[in-house]
Structure 1
Amino acid sequence: MKNLERITLNPNVMGGKPCIRGLRVTVGTIIGLLASGQTNEGILKMYPYLQAEDITAALSYAAWRSEEIEVPLATA
């Protein structure tokens, strides 16, 4: 899945949680912000180093994980 290329797992970054492009922003943070009503634009203002594609990637990763399929991801 192309969007998963932006999601990295590194045991030295955020305890190995899935992150956006090796940054210290977890997929869970993005999903939590969206779930609490934050807009994509609001998230991008809070985290100016993120890109719109990162939010899409976080959503794609969360949807994929909800299916409980294991596929290796790129490491940072």
Structure 2
Amino acid sequence: MTGNLIDRITIDPTVMGGQPCVRGLRMRVGDILDLLASGMTEEAVLTDYPYLERDDIRAALAYASRLAGHRIIAAE
């Protein structure tokens, strides 16, 4: 299911400077994460941004989780 959620995240150089967005909308993954980190509930986010869907929030979280778990190997 996470794979399907990740498909909601789009990266297009012509939308928001190529930053990861939800479904090609002008809503960045980072914007959703910032809202949740500030203490907003999913319900509040969906109320304030009616064009978002619950799975958009879950997709942003899944995307961030994958990035946080991404292993970076540096040459010494």
Q: Which band: TM-score by shorter chain?
A: 0.7 to 0.9
Structure 2 counterpart of 1:42, one-letter code? A
Percent identity between the two aligned chains: 52
What letter matches 2:57 in structure 1?
I
Query: Moved runs in structure 1, 4+ residues, more than 2 A?
Result: none
RMSD: 1.0
Paired residue for 2:53?
51
Of structures 1 and 2, the one with the larger relative CO (CA 8 A, separation 6+) is: 1
Q: Output one character per residue of 1:20-56: Cα deviation in whole Å (capped at 9) or x when no partner.
A: 0000000000001001100001101111011000000
Unaligned runs of 5+ in 1: 70-76
Residue equivalent to 2:67? 65
CA distance in structure 2 between the aligned counterparts of 1:67 and 1:17, rounded to whole angstroms? 19
Look up the equivalent residue of 1:52 and give its one-letter code: R
Greater Rg by CA = 2
Q: Match of 1:42? A: 44
Aligned residues: 69
Question: What is the SS of the residue equivalent to 2:7?
Answer: helix
